[in-house]
Amino acid sequence: MITVEKLVKEFGNFRAVDEVSFEVKEGEIFGILGPNGAGKTTLVMILATLLKPTKGKASVAGYDIVREASNVRKKIGIVFQETTLDLELTARENLDFHARLYGMEKKERGKRIAEVLELVGLSDNADTVVKKFSGGMKRRLEIARGLIHSPEVLFLDEPTLGLDAITRRKIWDYIAEARKDTTIVLNTNYIDEAERLCDRVAIMNRGKIIALEEPKKLINLAESVIILEGIGFEKLKDLLENYRYVLSGNALRIYTKEGNRILPEIISSAIKKGVEITSARIEKPTLEDVFIQITKKWAE
C-alpha cells in the first residue's frame, strides 16, 4: 500500500528525513516511533503530499506522491497533531463539509456521517457545536473526519497527544476498529501505544529509521534483567565478570538476553558458594527498553 525508497527531506543544511526506505502492507497498522525532532511528522507530511521530498521516491495506494499527488489525496485521510476542525460548526456540519470536498453525493454523505459518528461514539453529539467539545471528543471527531470518505490509507500524526489515559485508550479502540477497512500509519511518541496497536514499528531517530520489526521481535532484541536479593553476592565475583551487572546493597541486577537459561546456573553457583538468596525473578524487556537501548547505542 505504501512504498518508500531512499527518501530525503532537507531544510537548508538540516536533513530532517535521511535516506528512509520501508513498505507498508495493505490492512496493516504501521507505527513510526521516535522522540521529538526525529523526523516523524516531516515523513508523514511528505507521504500525505503536503511536503515535497528533496530526493528519493514514494508511492501511496499505487500513486507517486509527487507526480500523482492529486490521486494520492483522493485515497488518503489524515489526522493532524493540532485541531483543524471548525469550532463554530456542529460535528455533523464539519463532517458534511469535508465529505463535500471529496465529491460525495447527499445520500452517501448522510449514510457515511452516521456510520463514522457511531464508530467514534459521537452519535448523540452530532448536532452539538464543536467548541463545546472536550479535547478527547475533538480528537474522536477528527478521526471520524479522516475516515468519512473511506480512504485506503489513514495517517494519524500523534492522535492521542495531550489526552488523559482513559481517553487515549478509547481512541485506541477506534483506531483498531478502523483498521478493518483502512491501512493506518500511526506516528506516535507513546511507546505503549505503538506496542498495543501496531503490527510493525519503525523506530526513527535523527531522520533515520534505525530499527523496523514487529513489536514482539523488537522486544527480543533487548536485554532482560535478572534481579536477585540476598546476602553474600561478592562471593560470585568471578562468575559475574562474564555479565553486565549492578550490585547495590543486597540486590544484584544482571542484564542479559538469556535470562531463562542462566538464572538456574547462577542460583546453583550461589548455593555452592554459600550465598543466601531470598528472592529471584526475571523482568522481561518492554518496547520502551528496546527504544532506549537502540537509540542510545545508535547515538554513541
Is residue 240 located within the same domain as residue 198?
Answer: no
126 CB-near residues (< 8 Å, 6+ apart)? 90, 91, 92, 113, 117
Q: What is the pLDDT of residue 110?
A: 95
Structural domain includes residue 6: yes
Structural domain includes residue 111: yes
Kindly tell me if the per-residue pLDDT of 17 is higher than 60: yes
Q: What is the pLDDT of residue 300?
A: 54
Q: What is the pLDDT of residue 156?
A: 94
Q: What is the pLDDT of residue 180?
A: 87
- Strands (DSSP E) contained in 34-134 are 55-60, 63-64, 76-79
Q: What is the pLDDT of residue 290?
A: 82
Q: What is the pLDDT of residue 1?
A: 95
Of the three residues 219, 238, 256, the one that is the final residue of a domain is 219
Q: Which domain holds residue 237?
A: 224-284
Is residue 157 located within the same domain as residue 275?
Answer: no
Kindly tell me if the per-residue pLDDT of 298 is higher than 70: no
Query: Could you tell me the end-to-end alpha-carbon distance of the chain, in angstroms, rounded to an integer?
Result: 35
Is residue 215 located within the same domain as residue 228?
Answer: no
* Band of residue 69 on the pLDDT scale cut at 50, 70, 90: very high
**Which conformational region is residue 219 in: left (phi greater than 0), alpha (psi within -120 to 50 degrees), or beta?**
alpha
Structural domain includes residue 293: no
31: nearest Cα among 40, 39, 42: 40
- For all residues of the chain together, what is the average pLDDT? 92
The count of structural domains within the chain is 2
Q: What is the pLDDT of residue 178?
A: 87
Q: What is the CATH number of the domain that holds 262?
A: 3.30.70
Kindly tell me if the per-residue pLDDT of 238 is higher than 60: yes
Is residue 57 located within the same domain as residue 183?
Answer: yes
Structural domain includes residue 182: yes
Is residue 182 located within the same domain as residue 104?
Answer: yes
Q: What is the pTM of this model?
A: 0.82
Is residue 231 located within the same domain as residue 208?
Answer: no
Of the three residues 219, 238, 267, the one that is the final residue of a domain is 219
Kindly tell me if the per-residue pLDDT of 293 is higher than 80: no
Is residue 32 located within the same domain as residue 146?
Answer: yes
186: nearest Cα among 155, 223, 215: 155
Contact (Cβ atoms closer than 8 angstroms) between residue 290 and residue 221: yes
* Band of residue 162 on the pLDDT scale cut at 50, 70, 90: confident
Average pLDDT on 83-107 reads 95
DSSP bridge pairs for 14? 11
Q: What is the pLDDT of residue 167?
A: 85
Kindly tell me if the per-residue pLDDT of 299 is higher than 80: no
Is residue 141 located within the same domain as residue 261?
Answer: no
Share of the chain above pLDDT 90, in %: 69
What does the pLDDT look like over 111-147, one tens digit per residue?
999 999 999 999 999 999 999 999 999 999 999 999 9
Structural domain includes residue 83: yes
Report the amino acid identity of residue 97: F
% helix, strand, coil for the chain, step of 5: 40, 30, 30
Contact (Cβ atoms closer than 8 angstroms) between residue 28 and residue 16: no
Q: What is the pLDDT of residue 254?
A: 92
The single-letter DSSP state of residue 107 is H
Helix (H) and strand (E) counts for the chain? 11, 14
Q: What is the pLDDT of residue 233?
A: 92
In the Cβ-directed half-sphere of 293, how many Cα atoms lie within 13 Å? Answer: 16
Q: What is the CATH number of the domain that holds 16?
A: 3.40.50.300
Question: What grid cell was written down for 160?
Answer: 492521542
Alpha-carbon distance 158 to 79, whole Å? 8
